[in-house]
Structure 1
């Protein structure tokens, strides 16, 4: 499945800044950063469940927001990029 993950983590406190780094690290471990707080992920159902559990354990649900959009297979290949765009190699191996 293809997922688009966006997040907005409160960063006015040191704890919020730590959570922001942790959320980014979890997302970097499974997907490709295409904008500052946007990741494209290709995964299976079990990887998605683990990803969501990891993110849920990090965030403060009263201050932070993560949105996960499940897209049709092949959607990333149809994306149009304007400006300084990143072309993530979704078909190749993810090296962390």
Structure 2
């Protein structure tokens, strides 16, 4: 499934800034960063459950916000961009 994940972590405290880094690191392990706090993710149901569990253990539910949108199948093939944004290769092999 194609997912769009956004997050807003309260960074007014040192603990919040640590949570922000941890959430970003988890998201980087699951998808492609397309903006500072926006990730495009291709996942299975199990991948999504792991992602939700990992993030749920880190965030402060009283101050942080995570939003995940399930897109239509192959939804990333229909992305339109403006400016410096580029369409990302979600299903191609990544070279590290």
> Map of 1:2-81 to 2, 5 A cutoff?
2-81=2-81
The TM-score with structure 1 as length reference comes to 0.95
The TM-score with structure 2 as length reference comes to 0.95
Cα RMSD over matched residues? Answer: 1.2
Gap regions ≥5 residues in structure 1: none
Other structure's SS at 1:58 match: coil
Q: Which runs of 4+ in 1 moved over 6 A?
A: none
Tell me the alpha carbon deviations over residues 23-81 of structure 1, each in whole angstroms, 9 at most, x when there is no partner: 00000001000001000000100000000000000100000000001111111110100
Give, in whole Å, the separation in 2 of the partners of 1:85 and 1:7.
Answer: 19
Q: 1:17 to 1:95 in 2, by over 3 A?
A: farther
Number of residue equivalences: 96
